[in-house]
Amino acid sequence: MVYLDSVKKSFRQGPHKTLPVLRNITFHAPRGKTTAIIGPSGAGKSTMLRCINLLETPDEGVLRVAGKEIRFEKNKTPSPLSRLHFVRQREILDLRRHTGMVFQNFQLFPHKTVLENIMEGPVLVKKEPPGEARAFALALLEKVEMSDKKDSYPATLSGGQQQRVAIARALGMRPDVLLFDEPTSALDPELEREVLKVIRTLVEENNTMIIVTHNLFFAREVADFIAFLDNGELAAYGTPAEIFGKAMPKRVSDFITAMSPEDYAI
């Protein structure tokens, strides 16, 4: 469902310096499976996820999502007013439409109710008839156990409730792949548990998901595959049994030992 082939990304650090953040990432997230991305802070996990929905533009490499492919070539970023630029922007929006993103800090629209937050994208972007969008939004609110808050504003909800609404909003766009960036790291353990419960339901329904998480216990429990990112490189990839097993490179096993799963409640 999602392919990255030799993706590179650097950030500018002042006029003459660049910081390579993704060095050469080749990665595949299969349809209907959950892939967790783990690794130290600063490894490039968020950047990798943001490259998948093109919130960041890779410098080089190939990205394919739901059969749509975009190639990025070094020094070939089209100039802002060129025809090629508009073609590229169209491709980006088209590809992004296949993804749904859930952020660490929820990012709901503050001036819209819970129900409006979920209906906005389907009605305005996908031009769904409001009646249909509303019925689907209500069904999604039931799924995330937030029906009773449909007319509330985000500021009146707990972090866990806001995140469950954010998940419903992402699902409202009927994405082919759901991307989560540390969906529970802003939450207290109790609120984290209610969000993880919703994510676990989505795993059981065989949604295609990519989850960046610090919660190794959760990754081990729910992911079909785990990618370990370190210093901009995919240092390891495998099933949870493989990643948590013995035959891993030292930097992987050291990280896992340091972030002992026993420290993480679910």
Q: Using CB distances below 5 to 8 A depending on partner kind, what does residue 44 bind out of Mg ion, ligand ATP, none?
A: ligand ATP
Q: Distance between CA 172 and CA 224 in Å, rounded? A: 24
Q: Distance between CA 67 and CA 114 in Å, rounded? A: 32
User: Binding residue for ligand ATP (CB under 6 A) from 34, 35, 46, 184?
Assistant: 46
> Which CB atom, from 70 or from 259, has the smaller least distance to ligand ATP?
259
CB of 184 to Mg ion, least distance (A): 13
Name the residue type at position 56. Answer: E
CB 215 within 8 A of CB 264: yes
β-strands 60-65, 34-38: how paired?
A: unpaired
User: Binding residue for ligand ATP (CB under 6 A) from 32, 42, 129, 245?
Assistant: 42
Angle at which helices 189-204 and 159-172 pack, to 10 degrees? 20
> Which CB atom, from 12 or from 83, has the smaller least distance to ligand ATP?
12
- Rounded to the nearest 10 degrees, how much is the dihedral formed by the CA atoms of 150, 151, 155, 156? -90
What is the full DSSP assignment across 47-68? HHHHHHTTSS--SEEEEEETTE
- Does residue 184 touch Mg ion according to CB under 5 A? no
Site map for ligand ATP, 16-35, x if CB under 6 A?
A: -----x--------------
Q: Using CB distances below 5 to 8 A depending on partner kind, what does residue 118 bind out of Mg ion, ligand ATP, none?
A: none
Q: Using CB distances below 5 to 8 A depending on partner kind, what does residue 163 bind out of ligand ATP, Mg ion, none?
A: none
Q: Which range of residues in 16-24, 40-48, 109-117, 155-163 is near Mg ion by CB under 5 A? A: 40-48
